[in-house]
Amino acid sequence: MKFDFQDKDKTSELNFIGVNFKENISLSKRYEEYLIQSAETDSDSLLSLFPDCVVVATSDGGDPLSALSKLCQRIGFARCSGRMFAGNFVTESLDQFLTEIQDILPDKSRVRIHCYPPKYTAHLLDQLDIIENLKSREVLITPTNPTHLLVSLMIEQSVCWGLYTEEEYRGTIARPGDGDRNHIFDMNFNKAQSKIAEALQLLTPAESRFLFDSDLLVVDVGAAPGGWSAYLASLPKVAVVAVDPAALDPEVLAMDNTRHLRLKAEEVVQTQTFVDQPRSKTTSEADRSSSQTPLEKTARDLYGHDWKDKFRLLTCDANLDVRDSVRDLVLPVSKALVPGGIAVITLKLGRRVGEDGVVRKVTAVTELLAGAGFELPALRTAWLFSNSKNERTVIARKL
């Protein structure tokens, strides 16, 4: 929008986006990291960094709605937020902002306000309520059925702000489900599933093509109750072998493209002698047949004799210490993973581990994976929006 300001020297263009959330240092760090590393933002223009809010300018003065829309493609970005912001201007003081905004709000408009910090909200609402110009033009400040959204952030002594139509607000700035208690989310899965969905977004284009351009076999170790297995099995051209001595959720087990090995990870890659039995969704101790590994027998049931070429993704979200989950669950099965295959692993760090402890545990996992034939340059650790404060996610590629 273009506006004719009363004092053009005190208001300037500044395209920005921001996120407000429940005070949480770990979430603030994740938003900061994501926003400053994004191509949509200017890492040198971090306007606000607090435990409950991060605001940053867009890259090269880019359109904030377009930037926010692209940032929201990352799973967890919008749903972890309490409120999202976008704006185009900065005015030197609150008094000058109030002078400018009273002529800018359209006649008979219904204006919803998004503010930061919270203590500024009440003050701004009080000030807007007493402006005669707005009363005479029948401008109503209300959160219900708005025609416009006014974003107003007090940062130091300046006001960063923007004015948007209801369509722009609903289409981009509103959190999913804002104002709709019965909202149906596009990706309506649980938090465990959101971790694997978000992790797959961090694959390089080449890695994504390698995994998903043709039939894919996923082995999910430590799978019970089956959240990751269910999500992965819902993807096109994917079949899943879930490995866990514990039971899977019946709905997961009922999926045609899933199989459950109720064995320890080390057991599924040990050659066994099986006795022919009718095909079963679950292979247990009593099901052993011809000389092959349980993994091989089950994978052949899904993909035939060329299953080995399709085993390109190994996943683990087991609730174990990071070193135990990698050493006891991931490494035994990774021997069958094809060269170039990807491992996605949730690292459970434990409580009160501290930053030094995180570094130690990530280093230990990196050494274990490197020793098992995973590429060090391609190995990376991410703190996903879907991770808890005591989790990290590792993505590794086998040599």
pLDDT value at residue 294:
97
pLDDT value at residue 291:
81
pLDDT value at residue 320:
93
pLDDT value at residue 289:
47
**Contacts with 347 (C-beta within 8 Å, 6 or more apart), sequence order:** 322, 325, 361, 362, 365, 381, 391, 392, 393, 394
Let me know how long the chain is: 399
Question: What is the mean pLDDT, run by run of 10 residues, along the chain of 399 residues?
Answer: 88 96 93 94 91 95 97 93 96 96 96 94 94 96 96 95 96 78 56 93 98 98 96 97 97 97 96 66 56 95 96 97 94 97 95 86 96 96 94 97
DSSP state of 321: B
Measured between alpha carbons, how far is 162 from 47 in angstroms, rounded to an integer?
15
Dump strand ranges (E) for 74-147: 83-91, 110-116, 140-141
Measured between alpha carbons, how far is 310 from 315 in angstroms, rounded to an integer?
14
Measured between alpha carbons, how far is 15 from 47 in angstroms, rounded to an integer?
11
DSSP H or E run through 16: strand 11-20
Residue 273: half-sphere exposure toward Cβ, Cα within 13 Å: 0
Dump strand ranges (E) for 257-382: 258-261, 272-274, 282-283, 289-292, 311-316, 342-348, 380-382
Secondary structure, 3-state, 141-160: ECCCCCCEEEEEEEECCEEE
pLDDT value at residue 88:
97
Global pTM reads 0.88
Measured between alpha carbons, how far is 69 from 65 in angstroms, rounded to an integer?
6
Q: Is the peptide bond before 146 cis (omega within 30 degrees of 0)?
A: no
Burial of 268 (0-12, 13-18, 19+ CB in 10 A): buried
Residue linked to tokens 């996903």:
384
Q: Is the peptide bond before 250 cis (omega within 30 degrees of 0)?
A: no
